[in-house]
Structure 1
Amino acid sequence: MPERRHDEEPRETDAERRRRRAQFLRELNEAKALRERVQPRRARAARMRQAMRMRTFRW
């Protein structure tokens, strides 16, 4: 497997990177929503765990 160095790749613009990131986040949210519909109990448990992590997080 040939290794590609970072500086050999064509430089993508910030706009392209933001567009790809926005697309990724949209798909991620869509997947989360689908998972919630398919497995509501597990999704609820995951939300509760996340809420507990946020409550116990020290700033």
Structure 2
Amino acid sequence: MPDTPDRFDVPDPAETDAERRRRRAQFLRELAEARALRDRVQPRRAKAARLRHAMRMRTFRW
């Protein structure tokens, strides 16, 4: 289907800012939910990720 445009190629000019923000908020909610689920299912990996993040934050230069 090379002649059918992908919906992510060109933004819909009729889409309002509010609709875009609503879709983005929904996406971020689902992403946070997926991360929380992964953390519950893999606690050791989640702990290691937290420790890595803490180390990055401690060594970050402002």
- Which TM-score bucket, shorter chain as reference? 0.7 to 0.9
Which protein has the bigger helix share?
1
1:17 is matched with: 20
Identity of aligned residues (%): 74
2:61 is matched with: 58
2:34 is matched with: 31
User: How far off its partner does 1:10 sit?
Assistant: 2.3
Q: TM-score, normalised by structure 2?
A: 0.76
Q: TM-score, normalised by structure 1?
A: 0.79
For residues 48 and 14 of structure 1, what CA distance do their matches in structure 2 show? 37
For residues 51 and 34 of structure 2, what CA distance do their matches in structure 1 show? 19
User: How far off its partner does 1:42 sit?
Assistant: 0.4
Instruction: Specify every segment of 5 or more residues in structure 2 that has no aligned partner in the other structure, as ranges.
Output: none
For residues 25 and 38 of structure 1, what CA distance do their matches in structure 2 show? 20
Name the Cα RMSD after superposition: 1.9
For residues 12 and 42 of structure 2, what CA distance do their matches in structure 1 show? 42
Q: How many corresponding residue pairs?
A: 57
Instruction: Specify every segment of 5 or more residues in structure 1 that has no aligned partner in the other structure, as ranges.
Output: none
